[in-house]
Structure 1
Amino acid sequence: MEEKNRVVRMETSKGTMTLELYAARAPKTVERFMAAVNAGKYDDLKFHRIIKDFMVQGGDPQGTGMGGGNVKFEGSDVKHVPGVISMAAQQAHVDQSDMQFFIMTSTSDQLDGNYTAFGHVTEGMDVLGAIAATPVAQAQRGERSRPVEDVCIVKVSEILD
């Protein structure tokens, strides 16, 4: 029997998004993400990296929160198109972050098969657009990706049937 997709509500300071997570395609990633959601680990964190016409990144910038090390990369047939949620990693095809995720605001074929895409936005693409439109400044690593205003993840919760 195929595992049922999970659904979460992500309330942000810019509005609310609903995300459907692909439990059968990326079971370990979804399980890990849901453990963090159900423990309240994403609540009150920020979208700390925003790259125009690419993606918004949130979660714990230190990559910690659930313990037990990183989750191994899970290959996926999911394309990195607008609204797809994927786990962050230091580099492609390696262990992924413990707590950081990104949501695509454009299509990026070079990420396909290299980062674990594990769900998509089903409601609130306008909210994703509002987050992506947040002005940014230069970050420590030199890219223009540091939001000049806080964009907070207020609360993430599972929507049960």
Structure 2
Amino acid sequence: MSRSTRPLVASALCLALAGCAAVPDFWPARTQTAAAPTGIAGAEDLIRALFEAPDWEGTGGPRQARLAWMTPALAEASLRLDAATDDIGVGMEPSVGSNYIHVTDARYQTRATPWGAEVLVRFQNTRQPRETRFELVMTDAGWRVADIVGTDLETRRTWRYTNMMAETFAAVARGEGPRDPS
């Protein structure tokens, strides 16, 4: 995002979220936490369960399915985005870096962070190498994903789900929207 488009994106995000939540409350704050390295195993377990579920819909699906692994703020933002884009969302599934979820050969690496935990998953999706980093925070309901950062290992393109959502909300506010990827 260029410096000149940042105010536009921020304004569009504010418009899209008007009446839903105050902008400072929208994205979970990454505050220092006392998460002990031994406590991060639950974060990896959550991500493993997602990748190994045969019917996982990624960032899609009903509210309860999203709340089972996302922070409430991220789940609500993704639901609002789906409503604003006729379920197209950001135009791809950010948890796997593709329009399709067909994951094989997943390998996990977990570490404690100042805000909670980070689970890096390296895998094949539709026979293409992928890498996704899940940033997790501890909530009253347990570990939840606060953001998703993906990298396409072939192109080295990196994205952050919350940034992609903000850009998509801005495009919708301008009268442009994501196109159906299929």
Normalised to the residue count of structure 2, the TM-score between the two structures is 0.26
Q: Which has the larger radius of gyration?
A: 2
Q: Which has the higher helix share?
A: 2
If each structure's strand is expressed as a fraction of its own residues, which one has the higher value? Answer: 1
When normalised by structure 1's length, the TM-score is 0.29
